[in-house]
Every structure is written in C-alpha cells, then in structure tokens.
C-alpha cells in the first residue's frame, strides 16, 4: 500500500519542499515533525474535515493524515458554513483540521486541531493503520457538490515513478486536478510550488522561475492568464500540462510559440472517472482510435457522451441520496459530450449545456430563472458563448413582454438585475432580444448541442 510518508522517504532530498508564497513545508522534516501539533495520532481513525486556507499547510496536513485518519474530506477554499455542514454530515465527520488557532473553528466537532508550519516535533508515534478514504467534492454545479470516495490507490493510478521533476501548479491541490500534481510531486524526487490567489500570475511565475521549476500544470484559463501577463518567459519548463477544461487549438498554439522547447500535453480527467488520458501531439481533441484501446482505461460513447471504465475512478458517492457511480458494465458517465471529425474526437461541452466559465460551471436554467423573474422578460435562453479568456461566457436570448422596450437601456437594467442576484460568473455578459425561442417536440426549450 503506498503512503505519502513512504513516497517522501523513497527520495528524501533535504531540499524538497511544498511551498506557497507564505509557507514552506520541507518534506524531510516529516521524519521527526508534524503540522498537526505534537500528537497527530489524536486523529487516528477519525473522519477529518480539512478546512485550511494556505495550500502548503493543507499539503502538510494531508501528509500527516494519510493512513492515520479513516477519512480526509478535502474542502476547497471559499466553502461557506452551509456547504461545510452538509459535507460534514455526508462524510460523518468527527474531527476538524483548521487554519488558525486564533479564530474559532468553522464548524463544531468533537476534535478540532489547528494546522501549522513550521512542523513541531512529534511527541507520540504516528499511527499508520488505515487505508484512508480521500473524499473529494465534484466540481459542483448548483447546490452542494457531491462527495466522492477515492483512496491513494485510485488517485495514483496514472502516476508512474519519474526522474527528478520540479513541479509547479496554478491549481488548488484540494481539487482533483491539483491533487494529482501534489501526488506526482511527492512520487517524484523534487519539490512542488503552488500559486496563491493574492500574488497574481506574475508573482507566481516569478517564484516558479526562481525555483527553476521543470514541470507545470494548470487549466487552459490559467494558461491564457499566463499568456496575457506577458511574463510567461519567467519560466522555462520542460513540460506543460493543461487539464480541467477543453484545451482549444488557440491556447495550444500560443503555448507552443511561447515555449518551443517544452513538451505540451493536455489531459482529460474527472473527479469521478479519474485520469483518463493525456494528449501530446499539439492538437485539441484525441484520436478516435483510442476508443479501441483496452488497457488500462476503456472508453465508449453513449448518446454523444464519453463513458469511462477504469480502476482510477472514484469508488462511490457519499451521502444519503447517493447514486451508483458506474453503470451495470462498470462505466462512469462523464457527461462530457464529444463529436467526431476526421478520425478525431473533440469535446464540445457538457450534457444539458452546462456552461463552463473559466472552470466554474453554470446551469443555464438557473440564469434563466433570474431573467424570467424580471418584469420586462417573457422568456429567455441562456447559452455559452466561446471566449478566448474563460473558454466561455454566459449570454442570453430574451423575449420581452413588450417588444417596444427592446433597447440598450432595458438591456442594461436586466443585466444589472442579474448581477445583483447571481454569482458574477453566472450573470450574462450580454443579451440578444429575439421575437421568440424555439421549443422541441417535447415542449422544452431547444438547446444547441
């Protein structure tokens, strides 16, 4: 059974670190110290909600908790009390690791332990008795995200032993894509540098450049930010990885031009299905012939959506209303729609037209509900419009109650109402006034794709 401490011991260079701008976790120090006080064994066998702001601290807590806790629930930053409470209930949480002993824990549990760096000396032996369940939220749409269960075994299915790699990522390591990079870095022989929200892309790039990182990952939106920053040359990586969103030809081309020497790969993975594949031929999409491959990950297309059978997938959903994670044949339905052109498969969007705005998912129906509630609006259809920065932005077609009000002032007022009632990424960037909206034979609003 792999454990994080074993991975670190295997290549225990004294200069290996996981670092953010604010904190450094030196990996060799876990031989004598812990981030969870002197007695991390107090958390043995518990279901632990990990609710820590800084990612280097979160990384340290993961190393301390692996094989000690029964469960680790990884909370992405920004979860409010309501989301934490639902997650705590679904995962039967009985302990909390939180950020700062000077403030009250965000929820009330039996045991709450603050996480701190630098490490403190261990005063009791570590407990390494559990195959810890790693609980990850799916990249949520509306309502509370669903929680899925992974183990280190499923999470590391796509990670092979590697020579010295100095990693950096723009991802949050508490989400599947970032967690993959954290594990890759630990399984390798080098360090991991993490980008923070406050330092901006230029600040992160300059730290990454100073650390001479060789491998770096982020979403296409992260990479578009790098390209727009004009500071991309602060790093000179051997390898660039894109995942989490559809990588289009424009971003791949621009990265190729900026980093002519790097191997550039776009990967496809989901929290539920795990890592499926990576493509490094410089083009978007992937060869259709890969559907015929049988190991280790099998793919098939059902009603236009990619389905995946793999031992890297999550084991199950957690919670009272949880559904099975696979169909009867063991395939996970990813909900990602693909289209075949000239022997290649391209991702076209999510089933049901869920709109991905820079990694944040938007149900068009939720936007329409707000639009339709406006006094001037009779009907509406929110849709994705392709965008060079965030991949997509939300636009909407609107049928007005009175066509004579179709002018710029009315558009501004409706848009302002949306911004007041919706999260920023969900509010439409613009409207089109139309005379009517087509409906399907089933009487539902017609949606493209």
Partner 1 sequence: MDLRATIFDEIRTVAAEQKKQLPPLTDELSLQGAGLDSLCFAILFARLEDITGGDPLAMSTDFPRTIGDLVALYDQALA
Binding site for partner 1 (CB under 8 A): 200-202, 221, 224-225, 227-231, 250, 253-254, 257, 357-358, 385-390, 393, 395, 415-416, 419, 424-425, 429-430
Nearer to partner 1, 11 or 389 (CB): 389
Residue 394: count other Cβ atoms within 10 Å of its Cβ: 23
User: Minimum distance from CB of 334 to partner 1 (Å)?
Assistant: 25
* Residue entry with tokens 């990586």: 237
Residue 40: count other Cβ atoms within 10 Å of its Cβ: 26
User: Minimum distance from CB of 419 to partner 1 (Å)?
Assistant: 7
* Token pair for 343: 């022997």
User: Minimum distance from CB of 262 to partner 1 (Å)?
Assistant: 15
Between CA 343 and CA 76 the distance in angstroms is: 38
User: Minimum distance from CB of 228 to partner 1 (Å)?
Assistant: 5
Q: Sheet holding 332-341: strands in order across?
A: 286-287, 344-350, 332-341, 305-309, 298-302
User: Minimum distance from CB of 196 to partner 1 (Å)?
Assistant: 15
Nearer to partner 1, 233 or 263 (CB): 233
Residue 70: count other Cβ atoms within 10 Å of its Cβ: 20
User: Minimum distance from CB of 206 to partner 1 (Å)?
Assistant: 12
User: Minimum distance from CB of 77 to partner 1 (Å)?
Assistant: 16
Nearer to partner 1, 248 or 336 (CB): 248
Q: Shortest CA distance to 367 belongs to which of 358, 376, 354?
A: 354
Q: Are strands 17-19 and 391-400 parallel, antiparallel or unpaired?
A: unpaired
Which backbone phi and psi does 392 adopt, to 5 degrees?
-155, 155
User: Minimum distance from CB of 268 to partner 1 (Å)?
Assistant: 22
Q: Shortest CA distance to 254 belongs to which of 227, 220, 218?
A: 227
Between CA 101 and CA 119 the distance in angstroms is: 15
Nearer to partner 1, 184 or 222 (CB): 222
Contact 380, 368 (CB under 8 A): yes
Nearer to partner 1, 11 or 348 (CB): 348
User: Minimum distance from CB of 69 to partner 1 (Å)?
Assistant: 35
Nearer to partner 1, 202 or 335 (CB): 202
Nearer to partner 1, 214 or 217 (CB): 217
Dihedral sign, Cα of residue 172, residue 391, residue 384, residue 398: positive
| Angle, vertex CA 34, rays to CA 28 and CA 39, nearest 5 | 145
Nearer to partner 1, 30 or 383 (CB): 383
Nearer to partner 1, 46 or 224 (CB): 224
* Residue entry with tokens 């920053």: 229
User: Minimum distance from CB of 251 to partner 1 (Å)?
Assistant: 10
User: Minimum distance from CB of 257 to partner 1 (Å)?
Assistant: 5
């Amino acid at each position: 059974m792999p454990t994080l401490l074993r991975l670190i011991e295997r290549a225990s260079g004294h200069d290996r670190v996981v670092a953010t701008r604010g904190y450094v976790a030196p990996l060799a120090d876990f031989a004598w110290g812990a981030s969870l006080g002197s007695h991390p064994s107090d958390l043995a066998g518990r279901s632990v909600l990990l609710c820590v702001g800084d990612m280097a601290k979160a990384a340290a807590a993961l190393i301390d908790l692996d094989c000690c806790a029964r469960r680790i629930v990884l909370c992405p930053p920004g979860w409010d009390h309501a989301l934490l409470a639902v997650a705590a209930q679904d995962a039967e949480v009985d302990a909390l690791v939180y950020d700062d002993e000077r403030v009250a824990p965000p929820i009330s549990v039996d045991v709450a332990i603050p996480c701190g760096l630098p490490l403190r000396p261990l005063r009791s032996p570590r407990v390494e008795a559990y195959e810890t369940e790693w609980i990850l939220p799916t990249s949520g749409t509306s309502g509370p995200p669903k929680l899925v269960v992974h183990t280190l075994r499923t999470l590391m299915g796509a990670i092979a032993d590697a020579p010295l790699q100095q990693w950096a990522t723009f991802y949050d390591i508490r989400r599947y894509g970032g967690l993959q990079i954290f594990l890759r870095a630990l399984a390798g022989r080098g360090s991991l540098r993490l980008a923070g929200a406050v330092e901006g892309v230029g600040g992160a790039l300059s730290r990454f450049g100073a650390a001479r990182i060789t491998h770096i990952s982020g979403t296409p939106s992260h990479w578009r930010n790098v390209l727009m920053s004009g500071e991309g040359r602060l790093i000179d990586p051997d390898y660039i990885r894109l995942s989490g969103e559809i990588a289009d030809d424009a971003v791949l081309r621009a990265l190729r031009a900026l980093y002519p020497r790097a191997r550039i790969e776009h990967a496809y993975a989901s929290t539920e299905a795990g890592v499926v594949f990576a493509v490094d031929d410089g083009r978007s999409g992937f060869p259709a012939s890969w559907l015929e491959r049988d190991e280790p990950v099998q793919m098939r297309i059902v009603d236009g959506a990619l389905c995946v059978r793999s031992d890297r997938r999550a084991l199950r959903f957690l919670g009272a209303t949880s559904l099975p994670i696979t169909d009867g044949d063991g395939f996970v339905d990813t909900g990602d729609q693909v289209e075949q052109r000239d022997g290649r498969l391209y991702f076209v969007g999510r089933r049901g037209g869920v709109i991905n705005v820079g990694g944040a998912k938007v149900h068009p129906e939720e936007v329409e509900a707000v639009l339709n509630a406006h006094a001037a609006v009779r009907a509406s259809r929110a849709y994705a419009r392709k965008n060079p920065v965030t991949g997509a932005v939300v636009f909407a077609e609107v049928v007005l109650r009175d066509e004579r009000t179709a002018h710029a002032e009315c558009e501004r007022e409706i848009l302002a109402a949306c911004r007041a009632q919706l999260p920023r990424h969900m509010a439409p960037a613009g409207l089109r006034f139309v005379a009517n909206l087509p409906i399907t034979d089933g009487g539902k609003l017609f949606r493209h794709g």
